[in-house]
């Protein structure tokens, strides 16, 4: 049922659940722990390279799977079932990081890659449920609410984990190293527990149909071919996807590689952690406020403003030399990160056929993950060759600029007409 308060809150709480992985693991402790504990003794540039490869590998796997799984989910109403599978997979692999010892960088990479697959795969089906819980009137707000709760939820657990790391004795933990390892376990538990409301209370639109998984696989394979063909008719949707591909590359790369970048500049682990906390707690109200900003100037225009802001952030990052600069950039990122993510997701719902949301969100997430293949790999590779993270970060500005130009050309009214024609062609078929 669209616009039900219970379903909206239950859906949004999944962002609260899995954002703990994005903050504690992906953005903070894994990059630091990987370079200082699991790959101890390796050159910093080599560690950066392997971290980039790990992020790119996980993104590639999800990018290849997402459209096909989305098509299956649409044909048999398996969105929630796939979400459960990926959430459990991600939480389990994250918890397994707790078991690893110093020097086991190979297993650390393996567990991290599979956990990232669980995180990204779950998000594909989580996003596809958005049209089920929110009408066009409320979709911007609900999308922003999800990201906002994600920032505060992920930030709260991250704050607890940071306190464990800084004051292990207060928590009855033997050392800071052990505190970080336990933090991975807490993320897995947090992820599973706060996924329960969505699983219990969010209803999936299925028109009363129950299709066997084998039949859904056949239908899904057929539907993905139809969707691929449809993209040439849904030109506005395709244009947005390409634009999104470009600009979200920069956003995802900054999220995933910021801590490693700060480490390479010689900033202390504590300062990097403080910067991440700043981003989380600034992004919490900013995501909701940016939704209001989007209502005043238009959703697309608000995304364009955020893209320009990210160009400035990337440029400032190149010249960053002091920890205070890192804190200021953390504030800037927090102001725009939730806004660009939330409004991109909700804007996309206006450009796709509602009955095929999972497979179209499969393409949405596929392009996002393909972008995340290029960004981290590019930064890691350029850093390895030039021995300078500053040069690697410059590539992101071009991606933001191209994405902004393409997004500017997207016409929502034209997309509605194309969707209408597409749905009519499906009915005739």
Write out the DSSP string of 62-125.
HHHHHHHHHHHHHHHT-HHHHHHHHHHHHHHHHHHGGG--TT-HHHHHHHHHHHHHHHHHHHHH
| Per-residue confidence (pLDDT) for residue 358, from 0 to 100 | 67
Point out the least confidently predicted range of 24-33, 216-225, 274-283, 302-311: 216-225
- Tokens 């205070």 correspond to 324
Tokens of 367: 């392009």
Average pLDDT in the 376-386 region?
Answer: 71
Contact between 123 and 364 (Cβ < 8 Å): no
**pLDDT above 90: residue 299:** yes
Burial class (CB in 10 A: 0-12, 13-18, 19+), 68: middle
What pLDDT score was predicted for residue 8? 94
| pLDDT band of 111, cuts 50, 70, 90 | very high
Residues 6+ apart with CB under 8 A from 214: none
What confidence tier does 192 reach under pLDDT thresholds 50, 70, 90? very high
Q: Which two tokens stand for residue 33?
A: 């722990």
Section 95-107 average pLDDT: 87
Q: What integer pLDDT is reported at residue 92 of this predicted model?
A: 97
> What's the pLDDT band for 218 if we cut at 50, 70, 90?
low
Nearest to 277 by CA among 146, 148, 170, 151: 151
- Which of 321, 320, 346 minimizes the C-alpha distance to 333? 320
pLDDT single digits (tens) 116-168: 889 988 988 898 888 889 888 888 899 889 989 998 999 899 999 989 988 99
The pLDDT mean for the chain works out to 83
**pLDDT-derived band of residue 266, with 50, 70 and 90 as boundaries?**
confident
Q: What region does 103 belong to: left with phi over 0, alpha with psi -120 to 50, or beta?
A: left
CB-based burial of residue 373 (10 Å sphere; 0-12 exposed, 13-18 middle, 19+ buried)? buried
Work out the average pLDDT over 209-229.
64
Q: Confidence class of residue 36 from pLDDT cuts 50, 70 and 90?
A: confident
Structure confidence at residue 207 as a pLDDT band (50, 70, 90): low
Q: CB–CB of 251/377 below 8 Å?
A: no
pLDDT at 336: 93
Looking at residue 17, its pLDDT comes to 95
Q: What is the pLDDT of residue 187?
A: 97
- Please report, rounded to a whole number, the percentage of residues in the chain having pLDDT higher than 90: 31
pLDDT for residue 71: 67
**Per-residue pLDDT at 427:** 62
Average pLDDT over residues 223-251: 81
Task: Output the six-digit token pair for 416.
Answer: 């509605």
Query: How far, in Å, are 57, 71, 118 from residue 79 at the CA level?
Result: 24, 10, 14
> What pLDDT is stored for residue 95 in this prediction?
96
CA distance 193 to 188: 9
* Average pLDDT value for residue range 53-68: 75
The DSSP secondary-structure symbol of 29 reads I
What per-residue confidence (pLDDT) applies to 190?
97
Q: Which helix (H) or strand (E) holds 344?
A: helix 323-349
Tell me the per-residue pLDDT of 304-354, one tens digit each, with 9 for 90 and over: 999 999 999 888 888 888 888 888 988 999 899 888 988 998 899 889 887
Angle formed by the axes of helices 395-408 and 299-318, nearest 10°? 170
**pLDDT at residue 209 tops 70:** no
Residue 298: phi and psi, rounded to 5, are 100, 140
| pTM of the predicted structure, to 2 decimals | 0.74
């Amino acid at each position: 049922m669209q616009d039900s308060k219970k379903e909206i809150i239950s859906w949004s709480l999944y962002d609260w659940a899995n954002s703990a992985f994005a903050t504690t693991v992906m953005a903070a402790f894994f990059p630091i722990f990987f370079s200082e504990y699991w790959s101890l003794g390796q050159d910093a540039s080599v560690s950066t390279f392997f971290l980039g490869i790990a992020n790119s590998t996980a993104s590639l796997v999800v990018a290849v799977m997402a459209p096909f799984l989305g098509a299956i989910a649409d044909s048999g109403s398996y969105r929630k079932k796939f979400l459960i599978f990926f959430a459990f997979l991600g939480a389990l692999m994250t918890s397994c990081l707790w078991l690893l010892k110093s020097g086991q960088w190979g297993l650390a990479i393996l567990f991290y890659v599979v956990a990232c697959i669980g995180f990204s795969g779950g998000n594909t089906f989580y996003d596809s449920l958005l049209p089920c819980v929110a009408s066009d009137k409320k979709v911007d707000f609900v999308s922003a609410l999800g990201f906002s709760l994600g920032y505060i939820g992920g930030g709260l657990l991250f704050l607890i984990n940071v306190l464990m790391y800084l004051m292990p004795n207060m928590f009855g933990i033997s050392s800071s190293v052990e505190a970080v390892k336990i933090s991975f376990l807490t993320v897995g538990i947090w992820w599973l527990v706060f996924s329960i409301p969505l699983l219990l209370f969010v209803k999936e639109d299925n028109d009363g149909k129950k299709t066997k998984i084998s039949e859904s696989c056949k239908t899904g394979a057929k539907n993905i071919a139809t969707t691929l063909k449809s993209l040439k008719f849904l030109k506005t949707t395709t244009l947005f996807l390409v634009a999104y591909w470009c600009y979200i590359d920069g956003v995802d790369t900054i999220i995933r590689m910021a801590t490693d970048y700060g480490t390479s500049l010689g900033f202390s682990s504590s300062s990097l952690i403080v910067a991440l906390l700043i981003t989380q707690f600034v992004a919490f109200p900013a995501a909701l406020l940016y939704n209001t900003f989007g209502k005043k100037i238009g959703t697309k225009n608000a995304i364009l403003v955020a893209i320009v802001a990210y160009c400035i952030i990337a440029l400032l990052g190149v010249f960053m030399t002091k920890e205070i600069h890192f804190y200021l950039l953390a504030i800037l990122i927090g102001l725009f990160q939730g806004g660009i993510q939330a409004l991109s997701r909700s804007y996309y719902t206006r450009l796709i056929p509602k009955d095929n949301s999972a497979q179209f969100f499969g393409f949405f997430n596929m392009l996002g993950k393909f972008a995340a293949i290029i960004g981290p790999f590019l930064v890691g590779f350029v850093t390895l060759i030039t021995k300078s993270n500053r040069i690697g970060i410059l590539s992101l500005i071009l991606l933001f600029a191209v994405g902004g130009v393409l997004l500017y050309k997207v016409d929502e009214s034209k997309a509605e007409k194309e969707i209408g024609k597409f749905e009519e062609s499906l009915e005739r078929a």
